[in-house]
Amino acid sequence: MTDSTLWWLFAGAAIVIELLTGTFYLLMLATGLIAGALAAHAGAALTVQIVVAAVVGGGAVMGWNLFRQKNAAGTRAGTNPDVNLDIGETVQVESWQPDGSTSVKYRGALWSAVPAAGTPPGLGAHRIVEVRGSQLVVEKLEP
């Protein structure tokens, strides 16, 4: 077997394992293995193939890790619509309590709700902007 064939087999195995486990980092390592296979096709020595695979795979892992850290740091789960599908849904507010809370019917149950910071309590349609445990944070929808 040639060096490039071994690189392609290792890359394929990494992709299969990634599909079974859901570890996205294995795809980054597979790109390094593919780079090693391409270096073998180009006729590079085994040492160069290994260095190319390590640099490309390691660089891809570091790049993905930095991307995840940069983009995931700012959004809490309670306000992230990708995590909490209730964000952006509409509820009807019929009255407010003196303490600034209300009860709204949402998904067939009564929920406690409070206005979002800087939002004066109003009646009518409100949008859910955050979920804090079993409490909804809502803002008035403008017509």
On whether both 61 and 95 belong to a single domain, the answer is no
Query: Which of these three, 14, 46, 72, is where a domain ends?
Result: 72
Residues 43 and 96 in one domain: no
- Quick check: pTM over 0.75? no
Domain identity same for 47 and 30: yes
- On whether both 81 and 68 belong to a single domain, the answer is no
The CATH number of residue 104's host domain is: 2.40.50.140
Beta 109-115 vs 124-132: how paired, if at all? unpaired
Contact, 139 vs 124, CB < 8 A?
Answer: no
pLDDT number for residue 100: 86
Q: 28, 48, 72: which is the final residue of a domain?
A: 72
Contacts of 6 (CB under 8 A, 6+ apart): none
**Is 80 exceeded by the pLDDT of residue 76?**
no
- At 4-55, the pLDDT tens digits run 999 999 999 999 999 999 888 899 999 999 999 999 999 999 999 999 999 9
The answer to whether residues 7 and 68 belong to one domain is yes
Confidence of residue 119 (pLDDT cuts 50, 70, 90): confident
Chosen domain end from 72, 88, 107: 72
pLDDT at 75 (0 to 100): 63
Q: What's the rounded mean pLDDT across residues 56-67?
A: 93
Percent of the chain with pLDDT over 90: 56
The parent domain of residue 95 ranges over: 77-140
Residues 13, 43: one domain?
Answer: yes
When divided into structural domains, the chain yields a total of 2
